[in-house]
Structure 1
Amino acid sequence: MLRKVCLLGIGSTLLAGCFGTHTSQAPIATTYPITEQQKMQAAHHWDVLAQHQADMLIQSDMIKSQPLYIKGADTATPFSTAFDNLLTSQLVSKGAYIKASPSQAAEVSYKVQVVEHKDRGPIRAPQGAITTLAAGIAVATIPFNHWAEPALALIPAAGAVDLFSGSWTSETNQEVVITTQVTLSDQVVYSNSSIYYINPGDFDHYKVPAKTTKTVQVNNQW
């Protein structure tokens, strides 16, 4: 019996050697390291982006000595209309030379792309959210064991929420990619992209909704 077991073990080992180890028929899914992405929810956030781009532009060696012309978007949206003015204001306040015509000037333009994910997997909750929730539940059980007034248990939990709630926000299935570029003599001398979450209801702030055509059936009957 022992001999048969040994032979079976040796045979299994030799058979396993005929195949590659740690193999798969397709790539296995893995996750990225935790990263953060901001969420645009106010016109003030557009001004923050304009300030950031203005700082980057005036620090570029190829741009800071050039007159600039800000080209508006081909199709006006609430974002493009505001961003034209905000970027102009930020650049002027930082001493940039802004021209009203493209003649003899580097052209500043930007592209806006709205991305909508239709089948996104679960996203990890904000760091500390589960711990705070667990702590609140644990604190809420104390009065039933020790305190005379159960409502007092809500005070520590509410204080924790008040302290950290400003750092929490929700991810959405819609994002916006905003790319600012500068061209000089048909050469792209500057390009910078920023990506943000946006609320689904703010879609039309960044992109004009596609016009829908209505089909009308025509026949010879009155």
Structure 2
Amino acid sequence: MNPIRTASVALAGFFLVGLAGCSHAPIPVAENFPYTAQKKVRSAGHWDAVAQHVVSNTLARLAQTPADGMALHVGLPSSPSAFDRAFRELLITRLVNDGKTVVERDDAPVKVSYQAQVVRHNSDRPHFVPGLFTAITSGVYVAHYLGVHAHQDAAMAGGLGYAVIADVAASQYTGGPTHTEVILTTTIMQGDRYLVRNTDVYYVEDSDATLFQVVRGPVTREYKVVSQ
């Protein structure tokens, strides 16, 4: 038998055995989720946009329940943050403008509540890589050019121009992912029954996290003076 062929067969067998061994792992292999986009809340105007989104979603589902049309009471969380106080006013404004009856009394038949939970990540946050849209666009044009053997200079330049704009908008104006997120859950209840639940997750700037948290003052203690 040809020694070179024998060595090749042995090497191929070695790789096959190695691949078979790689099909089993002592622990699960890490895998990324599919590409998704998550909005970043950076201003009070964004809070209003969030309120509009919440009201739109919750009212659409509330319309499918027997409680549709009943008076609503929007509660304020205990120990409210700056966001909590503002968000309540924004919700009431949106609800009233949508024609809903909103009352201040606590005995309203339907109650609206919400909770903002701040989540802080200590791990590194991968940033958007500038040039993604440009690279994709240029690759598409190059493939098209090679396929039809035609000059596409003008079209390619225009497409790359739009792609560069997309890169700048995606990488610079958003500021990229942050270490801080807010999980915002809105609940509509009738008695002890959950009628509607809506949960959204947003990025917030790390330095803005205190807007969504209760700022507690210094702890005061009382001391009793005992005469000797």
> Is the contact made by 2:58 and 2:197 (CA closer than 8 Å) also made in structure 1?
no
* Structure richer in helix, relative to its length: 2
Judged with a 3 Å threshold, the aligned counterparts in structure 2 of structure 1 residues 160 and 189 are, in CA distance, closer, same or farther, namely closer
How many pairs are equivalent?
186
Structure 1: segments with no counterpart, 5+ residues: 135-156, 215-222
Partner of 1:147: none
Matched with 1:178 is 184
Structure 1: distance between partners of 2:177 and 2:22? 39
Paired position in structure 2 for 1:66: 70
8 Å Cα contact 2:126/2:177 also seen in 1: no
**From 190, 195, 203, the counterpart of 2:201:** 195
Distance 2:113 2:107 in 1: 15
Aligned to 1:217: none
Q: How does 1:1-222 map to 2 (within 5 A)?
A: 16=17, 22-59=23-60, 60=62, 61-62=64-65, 63-120=67-124, 122-125=126-129, 128=132, 131=135, 165-167=168-170, 168-169=173-174, 170-209=176-215
Going from structure 1 to structure 2, the CA distance change for 1:197 and 1:22 (only over 3 Å counts) comes to same
Across the aligned residues of Structure 1 and Structure 2, the Cα RMSD in angstroms comes to: 3.6
Question: TM-score, length-normalised on structure 2?
Answer: 0.68
| C-alpha spacing 1:88/1:33, structure 2 compared with 1 (3 Å) | same
Residue identity opposite 1:189 in structure 2: L
- State how far apart, in whole Å, the 2-side matches of 1:127 and 1:113 are: 34
Answer whether contact 1:58 1:96 (CA < 8 A) is retained. Answer: no
The one-letter code of the counterpart of 1:53 is: V
Q: Structure 1 length normalisation: TM-score?
A: 0.70
Structure 1 95/121 Cα, relative in aligned 2: closer, same or farther at 3 Å?
A: closer
Is the CA contact 1:57–1:64 (under 8 Å) kept in the aligned structure 2?
no
Is the 8 Å Cα contact of residues 113 and 178 (structure 1) preserved in structure 2?
yes
> How far 1:128 moved relative to its partner?
3.2
Shift of 1:116: 0.5
Aligned equivalents of 1:127 and 1:107: distance in 2?
A: 48
**Matched residue, 2:152:** none
Query: Counterpart amino acid of 2:190?
Result: L
Please list the CA deviations of residues 194-213 of structure 1 after superposition, one character each: whole Å capped at 9, or x if unmatched.
11100011011101245666
Aligned residue type for 1:193: T
Question: Counterpart in 2 of 1:137?
Answer: none
Task: Tell me the distance in 1 between the aligned counterparts of 2:162 and 2:35.
Answer: 27
8 Å contact from structure 2 (residues 73, 106) kept in 1: yes
Structure 2 unaligned segments of length 5 or more: list them. 139-159, 221-228
